[in-house]
Chains A and B, each alone.
Chain A
Amino acid sequence: MSSAARPITLALAALGGQGGGVVTGWLTSVARREGYLVQATSVPGVAQRTGATLYYLEFFAEKDLPADGRRPVMALMPNPGDVDVVVATELLEAVRSVQRGLVTAERTILITSTHRAYTISEKAHTGDGRADSGQLLQEARQGAKRLVMLDMAALAAEQGAIISAVVLGAIAGADALPFAPESYREAIAEGGTAVALNIAAFDASLERTRAGAAPKAAPAAPTPAAVPEGLARQIRDFPVAVQPILEHGVTRLIDYQDVAYAHEYLHTLGRIRALEDPTDVRAELTGSVARGLALWMSVEDTIRVAQQKIRPQRRAALRRAARLKPGQLLEVREFLRPRLEELCGTLPAGLGRRLLASAAWRRRLARFTGERTVRTTSVSGYLLLRLVAGLRRWRRGTLRHSLEQAQIAAWLATIERLAPRDYGLAVRVADAQHLVRGYGETYERGLANFQRVLTAAERLTGADAAECLARLLRAGQADDEGLAMQRELTALGLGPQTAAPAS
């Protein structure tokens, strides 16, 4: 009854728009050239847009057909536990195939791209919502009989070809199917579209797959630029664990303002370190404040944005990213939208405050605010931003700087007050700086959330205060409207009356 010959089964897990249909078409053509019967199906549906799609193929060697003329009955969908080859054009989809049981350790060769196309829930997270790629790779490895990996997206980009050709090359290179490379090339040629390009990409992919390319290691953390000796000496007085953060902080602040500013930074951190047990080499509080303080002291004010936009390195990077061909030109437009707050924030503190307080001036100044599209590749656009960046030398006198300094002082004061009583709580308060970031309304929402956390921290007394505050911090990242934080505050018995008004 049971015959030895069975179809070879292959499932292709792709993303809508990735050309899974093209690969399927090529594979059917390859199979026919090799004397195999083939059946291919798919369920594109609405998933053709950006969702996950699945193609399924079965191959059966004509030489194994029975003499009585009967033909194999091919399945229309992959059956868990009965798939020989799974090809995933993206890493998460590979693991999804493991999850669906299509990939089994008993028989499945899993060929996957190592690149990630993030899902909307991963992207929309206010912090880092990305699934851990290392964990994904491990799941893929454990789930499959054999794992074949290749960064298909990177190779496609390198070759300037569609990912389909790279996918096909990986299938051939993995020797997952009993077909000769030449048949694949012929199938591509028969397709008739961008043949030379696709065959080159196919060959590159085939070779790289055969060579067993290891996934690229994560780029090493950048080492900070050399720090002036006076500052470096001071940094060496801190525990080793936090020295790298301090070095990065110092470098950043010199770039942002000047050396004196970096000295201020280290001086403040010295105060924080004094709150800790000198034998505590982890220096968690100092580390957290060091990170937060460096970011806050280098807050992205108008001057900073202008400074970043006119860096020569940026200009070079933009030209590289645009992959200019000979004879082509590049124009770059910046989308800026200064509000009155940004405008006045760049003025001397006293003047800025008076203007902001005056309805008449607010009206008059309004025409300088709003949507601005600045061409940094034009001389006038460049000069405008250069002018703003040049205000750096007067930054310490600006309204924005004095506002931020006041917020920083309040933050540090809270930490200094809490640290002797509840060290863990003080660390969480230090971590809360994280909420203050972004621009415009995003920044204001973040600051409002931050102030709620500060107020809550002062009122939390129990042994689990640090833990409660950590929960509150996570809630602060859950949504844009601060709803989760509001709920968490209520749960902690610190109801809405504690909410500080948005500044």
Chain B
Amino acid sequence: MAERSFAREVESLRLGAGEVFEGEAILAVTKALLQSGVGYVAGYQGAPVSHLMDVLADAQGILAELGVRFEASASEATAAATLASSINYPIRGAVTWKSTVGTNVASDALSNLASAGVTGGALIILGEDYGEGASIMQERTHAFAMKSQMWLLDPRPDLPRIVELVERGFELSEASHSPVMLMMRIRACHMHGRFVASDNRRPQFTAADALAHPRRSYDRIILPPSTYAQEQEKVHERWPAAVRFITEHCINEFFDGEARTVGIVLQGGLYNTVLRALERAGVADIFGAARVPLYVLNATYPLVPEEILRFAAGKRALLVVEEGQPEFIEQALAQILAQAGSGTRVIGKGPLPMAGEYTGAVVLAGVGAFLEQFAPELLVATRRPAAEIALRPRGALAAAVPARPSGLCTGCPERPLFASMKLLARELGALHVSADIGCHSFATLPPFDLGASIMGYGLGAAGAAALSTVPERRPIALMGDGGFWHNGLTSGIANAVFNRHDGVTIIVDNGYSAATGGQLVPSSQVTLQERKARNPIEAAVRGVGVEWVRRVRTYDMKQTLAVLREAMTTSFRGPKVVLAEGECQLNRQRRVGPLLRRREQAGGRVVHQRFGVDESVCTGDHSCIRLSGCPSLTLKSSADPLRPEPVAHVDDTCVGCGVCGEVAHAAVLCPSFYRADVIANPSWRERLLDRVRRAIIGALQGREDTPA
């Protein structure tokens, strides 16, 4: 998909029985789907599961051979609804997205799917975006599993185990007629490892079979009285079936240890972290042999009371290592033990924090505190300082290290848009900006500092809905092309038309779902075989009734500023939509770079553009940086002894997008900027002209040297 090639990854999907697969865990999951005889795969990209979508999108050949249908869904809701095919037919289906945001979007369909129940295995692969590197609010997927009675797998980060659990996940789903969620944490997704592959399997039942013999049953419809029956079925049949399957197939793992009075219950995904903490505390070796018994929950929902009681038998206390809040597992354990009359204490949040990622240091401190209290004899005295090292404060250093927030890439087309908005705010006063999800979220960071709220993907315009009362002060909403097609067209634009909203919505059209890795969207400017792109945003916007629509090239800041000014001040009442166009520079470089290199090598004329700053003209006040923030626009120590402030400097990574010049012009900044065009393989005319010019200017400069 997009401009990046995943050819090598695609090849690894072809591996047969006995061959060794090597790569990232999320790719291993993709391979496991094919080994499980999946009939269709759908999803919506987002870290950390984008890779699954990207690779499958490039794997059309393999998918066609196997008869697997693949869709890059319009949204997570679409992906979830795709699983409907597994309600009535024995087709295995898998969908994927980033959680919990994607699960939120999908939850209408998921609830209905979970109520109806499934015939074919339905697997939902979730990238749990929690902790370091996460780009969303911090919540748990666990709650969704509990409220809808879907089962939640949280595999131990070990490639063979993960692959096995994908296959078992389908079986669990079929055995209990319930959808199953397989949760992958960020680091686990990007974990590099190996497993021994098996052959890919063609789906036993295909879409063609379904269409040839359509089936329906009112029992599976989400209307009363079926819904009442479905709820009973969930509790009395599917749930017990799931518990039975989990027990019989040893989904959860027990690791014995010599300590008799304590034990640790942990989420499968945290296994490696807990083991390392135990090893550092001196109660485990590096190969996983711990002196404390471990109960590893590869299925975190539903829990298996029988297993829990067995594990707790004879123990004084259990430590529950459960990341995130609230502490669902800990509560359930306490309840199960209490109801069984067990005297075993359940310890969790307390020694371990209620909120925040369970890093090695956090787990080490928590496990240490637990053992200190309940089994101090296990702790080797000499190893104790480890915990202290782990959490040693480095406060004295903090001041010297400025944060490094993410920002827009070099040459990003959104930069001139936000610079224009900053200039607009200088003219009109501070703006209320309703921001959205996407690269443009970075507008909320320095140097732009634009955006008061972010309500969700595609919800920028909706987020400004209440603010349409004073005609002379309009709110501005931002939305990306990705968010627009995801839901913004209806939730934002059509809503604004219908309710006669008087605000301005800027749709940032960079041609890709850029923040998630440059995937294609319905308006991308490409011709594809399997999908139809080039569907214009403008036609869609006008189609839902917007009358005031303008298109601007963001790199043309003069035009952009003029259009934004007009949108904010026009007497026209009703929604005003500005399509801010400029191709994602990252993808543009991937697309154009190789073409230009080839042309240059073949002797064709190519112009390389770079910007620069005249050191002797720059006065070092950095206004340009405060308006642009381009990574390639940086600082350089001043060579001027009278002016110690560093001067602005354009480094080698400049892609010549032109924004420096535009900013200098639009903001009336300074004459320091120049553009250097290096012309490779010039024509003979150009060469001649160049020679003449240099001769004349050289001669004139010779005279110039003598002071006037």
* Interfacial residues, chain A to chain B (CB-CB below 8 A): 1-3, 5-7, 15-17, 24, 28, 38-47, 49-52, 54, 60, 66, 70-82, 92-93, 95-96, 98-101, 104, 106, 117-128, 130-132, 135-136, 139, 157, 218-219, 221-222, 224, 244-245, 248-249, 252, 258, 291, 294-295, 300, 305, 308-312, 314-315, 318, 321-322, 324-325, 327-337, 339, 371, 373, 376-379, 382-383, 386, 390, 392-393, 437-442, 446, 480
Among B48, B291, B394, B665, contact of A98 (Cβ-Cβ < 8 Å)? B394
List the A residue with the shortest CB-CB distance to B691: A329
Give Cα A60–Cα B644 distance, bound, in whole angstroms: 51
Complex contact B708–A390 (CB within 8 A): yes
Which A residues are CB-close (under 8 A) to B135? 45-46
Could you mark each residue 424-443 of chain B with 1 if its beta carbon is under 8 Å from any beta carbon of chain A, else 0?
Answer: 00000000000000010010
Nearest 10 interchain pairs by C-beta: A43-B133, A81-B389, A79-B360, A45-B133, A51-B406, A440-B668, A439-B670, A70-B287, A437-B619, A335-B661
Complex contact A334–B620 (CB within 8 A): no
Give Cα A95–Cα B396 distance, bound, in whole angstroms: 12
Complex contact B671–A305 (CB within 8 A): yes
Complex contact A45–B361 (CB within 8 A): no
Task: Judge whether B106 is part of the interface by a CB distance below 8 angstroms.
Answer: no
Known: A45-B135, A51-B405, A123-B622. Is A324-B288 also a contact (CB below 8 A)? no
Which B residues are CB-close (under 8 A) to A41? 187-188, 190-192
Task: Judge whether B295 is part of the interface by a CB distance below 8 angstroms.
Answer: no
Complex contact A2–B282 (CB within 8 A): yes
Which B residues are CB-close (under 8 A) to A45? 47-48, 129, 132-135, 186
Complex contact A333–B622 (CB within 8 A): no
Which A residues are CB-close (under 8 A) to B704? 310, 312, 386
Query: Mind listing 23 A-B residue pairs with CB under 8 Å?
Result: A1-B282, A45-B133, A45-B186, A50-B409, A52-B404, A72-B288, A74-B272, A76-B273, A79-B359, A80-B390, A101-B394, A123-B629, A258-B707, A308-B616, A329-B682, A329-B686, A331-B679, A335-B674, A337-B664, A377-B694, A377-B697, A379-B693, A480-B623
Could you mark each residue 386-411 of chain B with 1 if its beta carbon is under 8 Å from any beta carbon of chain A, else 0?
Answer: 10011110100110111111111100
CB distance from A148 to the nearest CB of B (A): 20
Give Cα A492–Cα B240 distance, bound, in whole angstroms: 74
Among B361, B619, B626, contact of A80 (Cβ-Cβ < 8 Å)? B361
Which B residues are CB-close (under 8 A) to A377? 690, 693-694, 697
Give Cα A160–Cα B225 distance, bound, in whole angstroms: 71
List the B residue with the shortest CB-CB distance to A439: B670
Complex contact B406–A332 (CB within 8 A): no
Which of B324-332, B459-467, B486-494, B633-641 lies on the face that meets chain A? B633-641
Give Cα A308–Cα B614 distance, bound, in whole angstroms: 8
Complex contact A442–B610 (CB within 8 A): no
Complex contact A42–B190 (CB within 8 A): yes
Known: A49-B408, A49-B409, A73-B271. Is A438-B133 also a contact (CB below 8 A)? no
Give Cα A446–Cα B700 distance, bound, in whole angstroms: 37
Task: Judge whether B15 is part of the interface by a CB distance below 8 angstroms.
Answer: no
Task: Judge whether B643 is part of the interface by a CB distance below 8 angstroms.
Answer: yes
Give Cα A37–Cα B234 distance, bound, in whole angstroms: 45
Could you mark each residue 641-679 of chain B with 1 if its beta carbon is under 8 Å from any beta carbon of chain A, else 0?
Answer: 111111000001000000011001101111101111111
Which B residues are CB-close (under 8 A) to A80? 360-361, 389-392
List the A residue with the shortest CB-CB distance to B623: A442
List the A residue with the shortest CB-CB distance to B284: A1
Known: A52-B404, A322-B676, A442-B621. Is A337-B191 also a contact (CB below 8 A)? no
Known: A117-B634, A127-B645, A480-B626. Is A442-B669 also a contact (CB below 8 A)? yes
Give Cα A332–Cα B631 distance, bound, in whole angstroms: 22
Complex contact B401–A131 (CB within 8 A): yes
Task: Judge whether B696 is part of the interface by a CB distance below 8 angstroms.
Answer: yes
Known: A49-B406, A131-B402, A329-B690. Is A118-B286 also a contact (CB below 8 A)? no
Which B residues are CB-close (under 8 A) to A117? 631, 634
Given contacts A44-B47, A66-B287, A310-B704, 16 further A-B contacts (CB under 8 A): A45-B133, A70-B289, A76-B273, A79-B390, A82-B276, A98-B394, A117-B631, A119-B402, A120-B405, A124-B629, A132-B400, A245-B641, A245-B642, A332-B675, A440-B668, A480-B626
List the A residue with the shortest CB-CB distance to B132: A43
Which B residues are CB-close (under 8 A) to A333? 661, 674-675, 677
List the A residue with the shortest CB-CB distance to B558: A371
Complex contact A339–B668 (CB within 8 A): yes
Among B398, B621, B701, the most chain A Cβ lie within 10 Å of the Cβ of: B621
Could you mark each residue 154-194 of chain B with 1 if its beta carbon is under 8 Å from any beta carbon of chain A, else 0?
Answer: 00010000000000000000000000000000111011110
Task: Judge whether B364 is part of the interface by a CB distance below 8 angstroms.
Answer: yes
Complex contact B190–A331 (CB within 8 A): no
Known: A377-B693, A446-B621. Is A40-B192 also a contact (CB below 8 A)? yes
Known: A77-B273, A308-B617. Is A122-B687 also a contact (CB below 8 A)? no
CB distance from A196 to the nearest CB of B (A): 16
CB distance from A125 to the nearest CB of B (A): 7
Those of B246-296 within 8 Å (CB) of chain A: 271-273, 275-276, 279-280, 282-289, 291
Known: A72-B286, A332-B675. Is A382-B364 also a contact (CB below 8 A)? no
Give Cα A2–Cα B378 distance, bound, in whole angstroms: 13
Complex contact A101–B134 (CB within 8 A): no
Task: Judge whether B545 is part of the interface by a CB distance below 8 angstroms.
Answer: no
Give Cα A167–Cα B700 distance, bound, in whole angstroms: 47
CB distance from B251 to the nearest CB of A (A): 19
Which A residues are CB-close (under 8 A) to B625? 120, 123-124
Which A residues are CB-close (under 8 A) to B273? 75-77
Complex contact A335–B665 (CB within 8 A): yes
Complex contact B275–A73 (CB within 8 A): yes
Give Cα A6–Cα B383 distance, bound, in whole angstroms: 15
Complex contact A438–B47 (CB within 8 A): no
Give Cα A337–Cα B672 distance, bound, in whole angstroms: 11
Give Cα A191–Cα B397 distance, bound, in whole angstroms: 39
Complex contact B621–A305 (CB within 8 A): no
Task: Judge whether B468 is part of the interface by a CB distance below 8 angstroms.
Answer: no
Which B residues are CB-close (under 8 A) to A66? 287
Among B276, B442, B629, the most chain A Cβ lie within 10 Å of the Cβ of: B276
List the A residue with the shortest CB-CB distance to B364: A79
Task: Judge whether B377 is part of the interface by a CB distance below 8 angstroms.
Answer: no
Complex contact A321–B693 (CB within 8 A): no
Give Cα A95–Cα B402 distance, bound, in whole angstroms: 10
Complex contact A244–B641 (CB within 8 A): yes
Complex contact B690–A28 (CB within 8 A): no
Which B residues are CB-close (under 8 A) to A74? 272
Give Cα A392–Cα B707 distance, bound, in whole angstroms: 10
Give Cα A101–Cα B690 distance, bound, in whole angstroms: 58
CB distance from A3 to the nearest CB of B (A): 5
List the B residue with the shortest CB-CB distance to A142: B397
Task: Judge whether B446 is part of the interface by a CB distance below 8 angstroms.
Answer: yes
List the B residue with the shortest CB-CB distance to A15: B404
CB distance from B365 to the nearest CB of A (A): 11
Complex contact B634–A118 (CB within 8 A): yes
